[in-house]
Copies of this chain bind each other. A is one copy, B any other.
């Protein structure tokens, strides 16, 4: 009985977590390759034609896979989008954590978050455009679940990272649930406008500015 595979090619390992003890399903190299081909093709299609206008058949021909293969690996069109979304988030999260490792003050941390955010978007505009564009919809049960978990884990990681500085009074004491919004909200909004062509100046040009602004908001 063929079963839609769910474990996609995970690139990052959640920092603190240990490997699940599971009854290892065999994962074939060719499978991962095909899945990646499909995801890449899908992103190309989404970028070129927009999410709504991208049909399964387009992804099929672009990826060289067959309909059967597509559905075997992902189960639905939505799931392809989901996977792309999740992959993007993971990629970004990982990068952010890496950046934070080199920071040793509240100010450095705050600025690193904003900077990393902007850089990721600048370097992966297609991916970012897709993620912004598909927000909300397009998440199946399972993936929605996983996204929440990931978000929460990420959130907790950040919280832990900042706690010492907070305790030391190096950071303004807002309710924590709001930190993320204060930090990346402005950059995110500008990014959206830039990605959609409504703003000309590249996001990159304003990185410094958004970093400064964020720090100004959060400095004690």
Chain A residues touching B, majority SS: helix
Q: Does A102 contact B (CB under 8 A)?
A: no
A214 to chain B, nearest CB (A): 9
Inter-subunit contact B133/A137 (CB<8 Å): yes
A220 to B213, CA, bound (A): 12
Inter-subunit contact A185/B178 (CB<8 Å): no
The answer, among B175, B178, B184, B198, for a CB contact under 8 Å with A151, is: B198
Inter-subunit contact A199/B216 (CB<8 Å): no
Chain B contacts for A136, CB-based, 8 A: 129, 132-133, 196
Mask, A81-113, CB within 8 Å of B = 1, is: 000000000000000000000000000000000
Mask, A50-85, CB within 8 Å of B = 1, is: 111000000000000000000000000010000000
Instruction: Determine, out of A10-18, A32-40, A187-195, the stretch whose residues face the partner at the interface.
Output: A187-195
Inter-subunit contact B189/A184 (CB<8 Å): yes
Inter-subunit contact A132/B135 (CB<8 Å): yes
A27 to chain B, nearest CB (A): 30
Interface residues on A, range: 35 or more
A121 to chain B, nearest CB (A): 13
Q: Does A186 contact B (CB under 8 A)?
A: yes
Chain B contacts for A151, CB-based, 8 A: 198
Chain B contacts for A174, CB-based, 8 A: 209
A175 to chain B, nearest CB (A): 7
